[in-house]
Amino acid sequence: MLPAYNAEKTLQVTVREIPDLVDDVILVDDHSKDGTVELAKQLGLRVFVHDRNYGYGRNQQTCYREALAVGSDVVIMVHPDYQYTPLLVTAMASMVAYGVYDVVLGSRIIGGTALRGGMPRYKYVFNRALTAFENLFLGVKLSEYHTGYRAFSREVLTRLPLLENSDDFVFDNQMLAQSVHFGFRIGEVSCPTKYFEEASSINFRRSVTYGLGVVATTLRFFLQKTGLSRFSIFSESGRKLETNQLAYYAQEIPVGVAQKPAASKPTS
């Protein structure tokens, strides 16, 4: 699955590296302003378009919902900005399919690929500091929590209360904290990464906002674990994905039709 926003320049090269073993390639466009939707249809992808820009977290919710709706047992998210190579999909999917792990992350830290791939040094420092903080309070030992390359089992996606999570970038981090809380096994593989002009990347201000969200999520996890407080994102009764209906804010573009998303309309 490909959560996309203005990915026209890098979509084709990303799709070209998706292994043939993948049964369905789903792209969810978060109301892009470029030709992402048109290109995705030319490439033969299954495309869903949001009626306005909802944010990265909401994009993932739609991605996972539609992946579950077609019966996927293993779902892999890779960003269509070609920062991560889809060539690792086979290895990551196998680790989930054979029950080795429930969640597999493509790590930019293992093997030292982050800095070699051009990750800005301030982001690398933030990554290492936040990861150390999270490992301490979550009680696990991951090399990083901030990669956008992830594989999940169907059970993970149906059990986690994903609709309680943020619509912003911290959604990723909340998913991992939830996975730890609900006892799912998390593994990692080394993933080379590439930072270049066309690759999507949040700026310094958004990075700070994300970092504060990570700290807040980690502290909520700790408070939940120690029984000092309760949060809906860690609740068994929290809102989960509905797999039997299309999200009201997303439209599937039929096969053979390429069009830009309709103008944004207010929603209640």
Domains of the chain: 71-236 (3.90.550.10)
Give strand pairing partners of 159: none
- Residue 18, pLDDT score: 97
| Region of poorest pLDDT, from 80-94, 107-121, 124-138, 163-177 | 107-121
Query: What is the pTM for the complete model shown?
Result: 0.89
User: Rounded mean pLDDT of 6-12?
Assistant: 96
Provide the CA 81 distance to its chain's centre, in angstroms.
13
pLDDT band for position 261 (50/70/90)? very low
CA–CA separation, 247 and 239 (whole Å):
14
**What integer pLDDT is reported at residue 266 of this predicted model?**
32
- Predicted confidence at residue 118, as pLDDT, reads 84
Average pLDDT over residues 208-214: 94
What pLDDT score was predicted for residue 80? 95
Instruction: Check: CB of residue 139 under 8 Å from CB of residue 219.
Output: no
**For residue 115, what pLDDT band results from cuts at 50, 70 and 90?**
confident
Instruction: Report DSSP letters for 157-206, one per residue.
Output: HHHS-GGGS-SSTTHHHHHHHHHHHTT--EEEEE--B---TTS----HHH
Q: Which of 79, 74, 103, 71 is nearest to 90 (CA)?
A: 74
Say whether pLDDT at 199 is over 80.
no
pLDDT number for residue 23:
94
43 φ/ψ angles, rounded to the nearest 5 degrees = -85, 0
**Binning pLDDT at 50, 70 and 90, where does residue 263 land?**
very low
250: confidence class by pLDDT, cuts 50, 70, 90? confident
